[in-house]
Amino acid sequence: MPEDREVLPKAFKPTNYNLSLYRIDLEKKTYNGTVVIDYDVQEADNAIYLNYRGGVKVFGAELEGANVTNISYDEPTETVKLALDQSLTPGKAQVTVKFQANIETNMAGFYASRYGEGMEMYSTQFESTDARRAFPCADEPNQKASFEFQLEKPKEDFVVLSNMPVKEEKKGPNNKTVVVFEKSPVMSTYLYAWAMGDFEYIESETERSYNGKKLPVRVYTTKGLKEQGRLALESAVKIIDFYSKVFGIDYVLPKCDLIAVHEFTHGAMENWGLITYRTTAVLYDPETSDSAYKTRVVYVVAHELAHQWFGNLVTMDWWDELWLNEGFATWVGWFAVDHLYPEWDVFSRFVSESAQQALSLDSLRGSHPIEVAVKSGAEIDQIFDSISYLKGASSIRMLSSQLGEDVFLNGVSSYLKKHSFGNAKTTDLWNALAEASGKDVAQNMLNWTQKIGFPVLTVDESGDQITVRQDRFLSTGDVAAEENSTEWWVPLAVSTGLRTEPINDVLHARQGVLSNVSKDSFYKLNKDQIGLYRVNYPTDRLDKLSGQINELSNKDRVGLIADSASTASAGVGHTEGFLTLLKKFGESNETDYFVWSEMISRLGNLRYAYSEYPNEKVRCALDQVGMDLIKPQLEQMSWDTPSDADFLWVQLRKSIFFNGISLGNEDLIQEAHKRFKSYINGEASAVHPSLRSAVYLAVMKYSSGEDLETAYKYLINELTNSNAVDGRELAISSLGRATDQTIITKNLNMFLNGDIAVQDIHSLVSALSANKESRQQTWEFIKSNWEAIYSRYGSNMIIFERLMRLVLSNLTTEAAYNDINNFFKDKDLKGYDRAVAQALDVIKVRYQWVARDSDKVESWLKEKKYL
């Protein structure tokens, strides 16, 4: 164990917690508790150390064999020391600790969520280090122990839930009901959980039997919402059976509950047997929800259920290896969704969204390796990012493809069985996969998990052979020699046609030669984008590939566009070549949603970089490029939705319409205004749920006077009274797209006036900071109100870090880059330093791209008659 980690001394190893909570005061937001901790004393020591945070105060402690002589706190390390009058010798020990703590309101620890008219529910969020905020404990992932738990109901009509089933209810002091839960298996403290409130549920059971009976699965909600949990419930029972079969290990606990929480920092949390979700990640109404949320709900359910094995049954030894939890749960979550809904083509979504997000973040100097050294609790939350989740998942996908799916899953099963109810390290997974495959997995994967970044493969056809060279890819394009020392194991997977098997060459060194491939024939590296890297082709080869689209899968088409755009913005490739590629794709009768999503996104990035370019004619010309790109699709699409409309077609139409309105298509804007008026006057069929975002954009961006006031009032009302699960999130982001200065000012004031819940502030920030009319104002507002902003959001560093990332990374100019550096030079960046560093990298990419390539872009626009 690294000596510089802030961890508790290892003399006392907890084996069981018996936790009792009582005198829960919902008005004062306080409660009392007693925790009896059983220990294995592993070496003699005269002090017991526990973690605490925030309002936890220990007011008494007892144990047999010694007296507690002093209780002292060390706030920087979040430890409370129970000093003893004598050393305890190795063996068994039991300490009883009495404490008081707060019911929080910042979505951490044991906290209250507000909903409806003055209603509250209560639940926990302990990952990564907030169990200590609810009760004194050894709050580290490798300090596993079993739990016994009882809670005194503050209201008799409350439903109380925890990881395990209720054992009994009995009367306690003051004739209040005490709910006692069954003893749990050993688990990390961050996975224990409880919830209480005015809940109702729907229930189903698995097809498979577990310990001789079907497993009960429930979705809990506050009253009135339970039927919207039907999709999650139907998916959960199938996914639990699927994982039990795939992993070769049955689900362990006697029940599985999913609960919708009204205020939630994350999307969901995998507490063992009591999984908590943001409402929009578990509830879905087929009548009113955007169908995109259907994918979201099924995937998030699958992701959290994957953790019941990967993370809960087997837990990473320390936060350095968080990716063992999150990377695997991300990949296998999509694997399960693909099993349930093959028509959704979710691995094309993975290539277009997840893999590209991972590559984008990992191309920044401010990125970090998958396995990153974590010393203290303050550092942990920052690594719950696209590297741990999405680069981790992409690495798993790459490795699974190389080993073969069956071999890979056999290795995973062995890993889980060997380390069940324990902790593991990355090397343990590699060893299990090596044993299953007979390959040196650790040697191949070492640089992928322990080194920052990934390679760009430069293809050279100038000689007699086709050579490929790997170098680290930086989005700023300025890789120094000392940053370019890593040589990755790179599976090339050379495609020679849509209906042929790839040539599975591997690049082990800095440079290699493609075997069995001719320069005169079709070829493309990285078939189906299995590998985690970019490819930079010569201009002639890129031109050939753009004329051979029929030989490319949709994943390959996505990859070709993404690689061309990314290498162009870094100055490694050519922006004019990227624009030509896009134009050819737009003329090719492309119909795939994921390919269109990539085209629109990548051209949008270029337009965004030029959004403050001084030559307005260039900006307008780039907008026209975008309009021409989507024109063939627009001509084929209707506002009316057939009853048998394909799921992905609905998403494609949403993307095309939204983009068209953003670019100023008059026909779309006029129709959107017309339909909005019908919609708010009670004609629900006037606007399909998937088109609300496009319609709201039209009325907020292209309205004035009474029409704008009507739209604004409607969206404000949606914040609290929407009848759609996703209505509040959509209303917030739509408000942020306003171009009217009065509304922008009102939007900015919502940062501080409490009109928007803390959990939803990212939806407003994301829209405001991406909106050209409010981008700089948002940053100026943050600076001017820094103390108040930090006071409101800084108590939850996950929220604050996300807020900073969104505000800063949407700026575009060198002046903004310098302003950010100047503003933060005397600030304590603890907990969000990575966000600032990464945002600066993103801004730098934009202004350098414009400065470097503006002449070439103008030349291309003139050549194509846009200027």
**Distance in angstroms (rounded) separating the CA atoms of residues 359 and 532:** 8
What amino acid is encoded at 576 in this protein?
Answer: E
Cα–Cα nearest to 324, from 189, 438, 428? 428
From the list 766, 848, 772, the residue with the least C-alpha distance to 809 is 766
Give the burial string for 409-421 (b: 16+ CB within 10 Å, else e). Answer: bbbbbbbbeebee
| Nearest Cα residue to 114 out of 545, 758, 768, 844 | 758
DSSP string computed for 303-315:
HHHHHTTBTTTEE
| Contact by Cβ (8 Å): 634, 660 | yes
Query: Would you put residue 673 in left (φ > 0), alpha (ψ -120 to 50) or beta?
Result: alpha
For residue 780, give both structure tokens.
């100026």
- Taken in order 386, 390, 394, 400, the sign of the CA dihedral is positive
Contact 99, 32 (CB under 8 A): yes
Contacts of 189 (CB under 8 A, 6+ apart): 126, 131, 132, 137, 138, 139, 140, 143, 145
What single string gives the DSSP state of each residue in 651-714? HHHHHHHHHHHHHT-HHHHHHHHHHHHHHHTT-GGGS-GGGHHHHHHHHHHS--HHHHHHHHHH
Supply φ then ψ for residue 454, to 5 degrees.
-155, 170
Q: Are 161 and 121 in contact (CB under 8 A)?
A: no
DSSP state of 191: G
d(CA 352, CA 599): 10
Question: Distance between CA atoms of 60 and 72, rounded to whole angstroms?
Answer: 12
Residue carrying structure tokens 């019908």: 678
Closest listed residue to residue 491, CA positions, set 438, 554, 444, 442: 444
> How many Cα atoms occupy the beta-carbon half-sphere of 725 within 13 Å?
29
DSSP type of residue 53: -
d(CA 15, CA 419): 17
Write the CB contacts of 762 (distance below 8 Å, at least 6 apart in sequence).
799, 802, 803, 806
DSSP-assigned letter for residue 771: S
Backbone angles phi, psi at 206, to 5 degrees: -75, 160
The CB-side HSE value for 373 (13 A sphere, CA atoms) comes to 8
CB atoms inside a 10 Å sphere around CB 92: 12
326 in a known ligand binding site:
yes
Q: Are 687 and 734 in contact (CB under 8 A)?
A: no
Residue 368 annotated in ligand binding: no
Per the CB < 8 A criterion, the answer to whether 383 and 319 are in contact is yes
Q: Which residues of 586-595 are buried (b: 16+ CB within 10 A; e: fewer)?
A: beeebebbbb
Residue pair 372/321 in contact by the 8 Å Cβ criterion? no
Q: Closest Cα partner for 599 from 810, 848, 356? A: 356
Q: Which residues are catalytic?
A: 304
Alpha carbons 373 and 731: distance in angstroms, whole number: 40
Binding site for Zn(2+): what residues are annotated?
A: 303, 307, 326
Binding site: what residues are annotated?
A: 303, 307, 326
